[in-house]
Structure formats: C-alpha cells, structure tokens
Structure 1
C-alpha cells in the first residue's frame, strides 16, 4: 500500500486522495460494495471482485471519460490517431496509455465527451450544481458505523464547498436513456436509492450536512443531443435504500468477523416460487 493509501486509513474527509488509493482500503465498505453484498448478488461475489478488480474496458471508458470532462478530475484522456486499433502500432499506443492509467479514445469519442461536457454547461440546473466556483470533484470520506464498528467510506463525485443552507450533493451518471420512465428502472436496477441514502448518511457522519442533506442524480444521455435529466429520489425509496444499506452493513460486519463470505445456498436448499405474474396466470388454469 502506498503512503497515500495509508493516509486514507485516517477518518474524515480527504480532498486529494486518488481513486486508486481510495479503493486500496479493503477494510472498509463503500456504497457500491454494499449493493454487491445483497441479492441478487452475494458476499462471495463481493469478496471475489474486491480481490480481483475488473480490467479497463471500452464499456467503462466512455463513462470515465465523460466524468473527466464534466467534473474536471480523473485519468488523462489520450486520442489514438489510428482509424483502426487492430494494427500493431495502434495496439502498442493503447497499451502504453493504459499502462500509465490513461483512457485511450478515438477522435470521434473525444469529440463526443467534449460535446457532453458542453451540454452540461448549457443546462441551467446541472451547470449550477457543478459550478467549479462552488465545489470540487472526487472527495473521499471515511467514518465508523456506530452499530457495528466497521469502517465505511464514500467518494463524492462532487462536493459543494460553500454550504449555506441545505447540502445538495450532485452525482453524475451517463445512460442510454435519461427519461423519467427509463430512470425509474435504472434506480431499481443499480440501487441508486441505496447510493442516495449512503451519501446522505456519509455527509452527516462527516459533519458536512444535516438531516435534510440530499443527493441528486445528474443523468446524461450518450448520444446527441446529449440530453440531461436532474433527478431526485423520493423519500420512501431512499428509506428503502437505507434499510438495504443497514442489511448490507450487518452482512459485511458478520463476514469480516467470521472470515466466511458465503454464496447462495451452502447448508440448506433455497426453495423458490414462480414469479408472481406467472403464478397468478397459471394457478387459475391448472389448479
């Protein structure tokens, strides 16, 4: 572990901690990790992914590059000046960029993320929430969970620096479809309600905001005209997220104390029913 990663073990807010050093703290639990502990995943998958980080991929490159352009913090973006990347020269340049932590992009991909950042700056609410005069990107925090004593951590996409009144924490996402209907499904699929509850608790634990702290999603589509939707998550959904977070924290604490990261069913079988829609459909016909 690097000296910076060792420093990250200190509790409190860290303004200049790198993404790599933030993730080097394997003894603490993050929001994304908490979601991986719960069904349909399980602790065994969480542990494997912690010990075997995913290699860079084009799927994540676009989102990370957009984060860099929009938030102003992140890995270097490098244009690979080759029409095709299957030549030996192109492969060598891509490998060199990745070896130093940069994101290799084609020119049209760089143009895309530039256009996305431009669309954010033209959106009145998103631009105000991400105004560099009143906030900073990639702020990390560490604190102790009271009920269990485990370490929890958070990495805010953006943290306002002037906190008069209610603290609003923006979190930037990219999506194929940022419409309300699509994002309702995305909130459930990716557990953004759990993330909102986690970030709000983090801000309170770190002394940054009060009970009225709120996380807002800034969601942007990845195709022209790069539409933006600023989304709040309703109270009940956030409370459900809070309850799921608590279950994940308790699971993490138990796994840490026992050293056992269980999978789906170890000692007893799991008895499953048909999905509700199928049971209601078929029971009237066959029973």
Structure 2
C-alpha cells in the first residue's frame, strides 16, 4: 500500500509539470485532454459540450483503473475488495456504492485476483517489465497551444533520461494483445491521436522528443502482455486530428455555437448491400 504522494509542480517555459496530483483534480482542470480533443475532432462539438457537463462513471473501467494502480505503482490503497461472487446481492451492491462514496474502486475477490495476475504477467515480460521500473507514474502536464488554448495530458509512465532514455508508456487492458487486434483497437479508440497529443505535451515540458510505447495486457487468462509502437505515418495523422479538434474548439468557443451532425452529400450505401442486392436481382 502506497502513501499519498506530495503534490509538487515545476514550470518549463509554457508548460507546468505536476507530480502527485489526484486523478479527480486532474480531470477537474478545464484544459483540453486527448479524450475531449478526440470527440471534437472525430464526432461533433455537441457531443463534446454534453460530455463536458455530464461526467458519468462507468463500471466497465474499474478493472482497468485497478490494473493501472497495481501495475504502475503496486498500490492497492485506491480500491476496495468485496468478498462476493458477483454484484447481484443487496449486500454486494451496498458495499460497491459505499466504496464509490469513499472514492475507491470496488472489486470482487475474483476481479482482484485477476488484476494481480495481470500485474504478475506484465512484470515477468522482459520489455513490459522494464517500462514500469524507475518511472514517474501519472505525471500531469499542462501547457499552452500556439492558439492560446490550454491543454493537458497525464502519461501513465514517464522516463526522463536514465537507462531507458526519454520514454512515454501507456498501459491498456484489452481483450486481445495480438498486434493486429490492438491495431484495430488503436484505430477505433484513437490511440494514434492520444500518442500525438501526449508526445506534444511532454515535448512542451521537456523540450525533447520522447519514444512512445503501448503496453497491453489481456483481461482474461493467461493474461498475456505485449508491447506495441504505432507507425509514424499514423501518428502524424493523429497529430493532424489533434489540430482539427483544437480548431473546432476555438471556433465554437468564439461563436458560442456547438453544432451536431452537419448535412452532407447524398448517402452512398455500403458496398456489401450492393453485392447482396445484385445477387438477389440476378436470381
């Protein structure tokens, strides 16, 4: 169990690096993070506006949150283990809500054992293990874009110099850590955009380019880990999406208009429907 770290901040040019900042305080800061930028760039301003005023908690993220605490910091102080087979009983539901009220992540005993197995698997993988030794966990970086927009990022693990050089590591729990499957997840969830945003923030603070690694670990036995790097071409496209998201934010802030879907050109039905219907017509 880890003690609560003391919050410290340093300023580097237009960037501020804060260590020991709570997750709650980080998310309460109004600067734009990668998730907000992704929504602005790939969905609509209306989605961003709604989400920024309606923060909700999803229990689907509890396992990932606990895995981060255990793998990044070997810290069990942020979650509560509930001795129950599932969340169906009244007692389990009440214990779960009590944990949330205390700012803790509730886990069933079997979920806690799974998270421990995930950590063990990561820490026995030679590349993944090195990513989480001698790192600074969850450093919060705040900086200013050239347009004046305030931005933020919070890398899972940061190595500045040392044996591993300048390195940013992002931990993902996933269904499959296989390269092709993670590539699909990266495209679906905009991990290339996240990497571009984090890399820009770290460079704003430290003035240097950092290598970026994704460490993945599967959520089911045998909890296989893997280490990935996204191709530079995709990261460059992610950087363009970051700029688009910031542009959209600034325009909407200026006009006070946060539109939803725009009227586009006439729809073209997907190719699969064409082939299916052609086959029917030929019969």
What TM-score do the two structures reach when normalised by structure 1? 0.86
Q: Which residue of 2 aligns with 1:261?
A: 258
Q: Which residue of 1 aligns with 2:21?
A: 17
CA distance in 1, matches of 2:224, 2:56: 29
CA distance in 1, matches of 2:55, 2:236: 30
2:220 to 217, 220, 223: 223
Q: Secondary structure at the match of 1:238?
A: helix
CA distance in 2, matches of 1:17, 1:187: 27
Q: Which residue of 1 aligns with 2:247?
A: 250
Tell me, yes or no, if structure 1 residue 191 matches structure 2 residue 193: no
Tell me, yes or no, if structure 1 residue 172 matches structure 2 residue 175: no
Q: How does 1:125-204 map to 2 (within 5 A)?
A: 125-131=127-133, 134-146=134-146, 148-163=147-162, 166-204=165-203
* Aligned positions, number: 272
CA distance in 2, matches of 1:86, 1:175: 25
Taking structure 1 as reference, are residues 97 and 187 closer, same or farther at Cα in structure 2, changes over 3 Å only? same
Taking structure 1 as reference, are residues 49 and 274 closer, same or farther at Cα in structure 2, changes over 3 Å only? same
Q: Secondary structure at the match of 1:209?
A: coil
- Structure 1 residue runs without a partner (length 5+): none
Q: Secondary structure at the match of 2:169?
A: strand
Q: How many angstroms does 1:149 deviate by?
A: 1.3
Q: How many angstroms does 1:82 deviate by?
A: 2.7
Q: Secondary structure at the match of 2:214?
A: strand
Tell me, yes or no, if structure 1 residue 273 matches structure 2 residue 272: no
Does structure 1 conserve the Cα–Cα contact (< 8 Å) formed by 2:168 and 2:212? yes
Instruction: Output the aligned Cα RMSD.
Output: 2.8
Q: How many angstroms does 1:235 deviate by?
A: 1.0
Does structure 2 conserve the Cα–Cα contact (< 8 Å) formed by 1:67 and 1:74? no
1:251-284 per-residue CA deviation (whole Å, 9 max, x = no partner) reads 111112222211102xx55533233565688799
Q: Which residue of 2 aligns with 1:106?
A: 108
